[in-house]
Copies of this chain bind each other. A is one copy, B any other.
């Protein structure tokens, strides 16, 4: 059977199943704590997604008697199947994704020289400090998130490399090794 999960839905399932998020709140937290800004981890996305998937039998909720209003979440077998399918789904898993840097890559030559130079340097600086931050962050992570961050670092370094190749003058090699 085909399930057709969105990227967020798949991510939610994997948070529950592979990263030990027991509650919707923890799932939200994981998204908010994640270094990428792609998902806000808004309750307006997470709670409806979990309700949808509960209603279609992918998630089971157990309302804890003892505690405050807390649902403990777990995947059903159907949910596990859907998640595995989502991980492997080839036309999704191989797509190049939405990359703002890439989208802009060919537009730099069309900027006025000053704006371009300043922009390229600002981008370079941002990326460098993000890489630094990601490296530190790396230590604290479980394997699932670690792989993601590792790939983020590789991506950012590729971007720096690309900048150095295409805009050596604007970036400035002076002082570097």
Contact = CB atoms under 8 A, between A and B. Distances in A.
Oligomeric state, in copies? 2
Interface in A109-125: 109-112, 115, 118-119, 122-123
Contacts of A145: 106
A109 B143 contact: yes
A51 to B, nearest CB: 22
A176 interface: no
Interface string A1-36: 000000100110010011000000000000000001
A76 to B, nearest CB: 16
A154 interface: yes
A38 interface: yes
Dominant SS at the A interface? helix
A130 interface: yes
Interface string A134-177: 00000000011111101110111011001000100000000000
Interface residues of A, number: 59
A11 B14 CA distance: 32
Given A93-B104, A101-B93, A88 B119 contact: yes
A156 B166 CA distance: 20
